[in-house]
Amino acid sequence: MSSLSTFWIGARPKTLPAAIAPVVVATAYAGEDWNPRNALTALIVAVSLQIAVNYSNDYSDGIRGTDRDRVGPTRLVASGLATAKSVKAAAFISFGFAIIAGSLLALTTSLWLFLIGALAIIAAWSYTGGARPYGYRGLGEVSVFIFFGLVATIGTYFVQTESVDLMITLFAVAMGSMACCILLLNNIRDRQGDEASGKRTLSVRIGSKMSVNLYSLFMMVALAIFLLFVEVPWNFLALPLFPLLFSIRREILSNKLIRALELTGKFQMIYALALSLALIVSRG
């Protein structure tokens, strides 16, 4: 296996919808005020941070031994496909891309973005890295909701319009809710191994059953926002999402969590595209 394909696996491309979806929704909501350059730059920031988080987790969990019995996607350090040093370097390179793109946005819109970007990078690294990783204390979902929901969606809208309103905040809540669903399923899948290694994720703390109930609650919040706050009749573009949601639930109940996790990523992307279409055509 070539080095490039190895690190592509480590980037975990199936997780990228969590980074792409907020940018798509925010850009669609910006409407005629959309800024192609800033939208693309925001996408680079979001994707770079997602990849950086994935490499950082691979590195930090790998050197701690947490990934030794992992059942999910291949981890580079734990599997021996790459050295810890090279995975750490890949994380820092990804952070570098995010810093460069984010700095361009900050310099052309608001210097406050430097602070927000710094907090995002600190949160990304300290999720499983550092002396007291908060991901090991059940706070991962909080961070994901904030940075891959609120910050990613509202931030993308702001750098194009230099404004914020209630609707984009609601859409950010929807994006954050679905991002939490992805992490919840990931942690439900890994619950036994995490508990054995001392990693006290939210799913370890509350158990699999409550985690699945929380997953369902987050999904209902996202769908309710689509149905209640998008103009009639275009809000009914949300209806085709329900069969996919039922399919995901069936996979979860059958304990096919890897398949359910893959479908949840697709669900968020389809949700984002359907919501974006609804927002665009409702203005027509």
pLDDT at 37 > cutoff 60: yes
| Calpha distance 182→15 (Å, rounded) | 8
Non-local CB neighbours of 189 within 8 Å, separated by 6+ positions = 71, 72, 257, 258, 261
- Both tokens of 141, joined, read 């979902």
Cα dihedral 259/262/264/266 (nearest 10): -130
Q: Which fold has domain 3-283?
A: Farnesyl Diphosphate Synthase (1.10.600)
pLDDT, mean of residues 43-67: 89
Q: Tell me which of 38-47, 68-77, 165-174, 275-284 is least confident.
A: 68-77
Count other Cβ atoms within 10 Å, centred on residue 114: 15
Which region, left, alpha or beta, applies to residue 80 given φ > 0 means left and ψ of -120 to 50 means alpha? left
What percentage of residues in the chain have a pLDDT greater than 90?
73
Average pLDDT over residues 22-34: 96
Residues 6+ apart with CB under 8 A from 82: 3, 6, 7, 10, 76
User: Using CA atoms, how far apart are residues 38 and 30, in angstroms rounded to an integer?
Assistant: 12
Q: Find where tokens 């399923």 sit.
A: 185
Among 263, 179, 270, which residue's Cα sits nearest to residue 226?
270
pLDDT tens digits for range 220-248: 999 999 999 999 999 999 999 999 999 99
Q: Binning pLDDT at 50, 70 and 90, where does residue 1 land?
A: very low
Q: What is the DSSP string of 130-187?
A: SSS-GGGGT-HHHHHHIIIIIIHHHHHHHHHHS---HHHHHHHHHHHHHHHHHHHHHH
Residue 99, φ and ψ in degrees, nearest 5: -65, -45
> Domain residues of the chain, as ranges?
3-283
How far apart CA 229 and CA 46 sit, in angstroms, is: 25
More confident site: 207 or 75:
207
- Kindly report the average pLDDT of the chain as a whole number: 91
Residue 117 CB-density burial (10 A; 0-12 exposed, 13-18 middle, 19+ buried): buried
Q: What is the pTM of this model?
A: 0.93
